[in-house]
Amino acid sequence: HFQLNEDGEELVTLPPPEQQLSVILETKHRAGKTATIVLGFVGKQEDLEELGKKLRNHCGTGGSAKEGEIILQGDQREKTSGWLRKNNYRVK
């Protein structure tokens, strides 16, 4: 299934320099475990999942990608932000 914008058109994945991503640390609602969340991705679900896979591999950790968020296990803020910047993503 595809993500649609307000006009019902399929979302197009923005190129990395146009992505405005936030990397945050979350400890609530995760059974007491720390998780790094990447927010703000604009694009198709499969592209979100592909980016999530690259970040999980880079950080050597588990996680998931759904509903426009990439969730990585543990505090991966440094590694995640560094990888995103190196790959031309804009990180707030």
* Mean pLDDT per 10-residue section of the chain, whose length is 92 residues: 61 92 90 92 94 98 94 97 98 93
* pLDDT for the residue numbered 3: 58
CA 52 from chain centre, in angstroms, equals: 6
**Closest to 76 (Cα-Cα) out of 65, 61, 89:** 61
* pLDDT for the residue numbered 1: 46
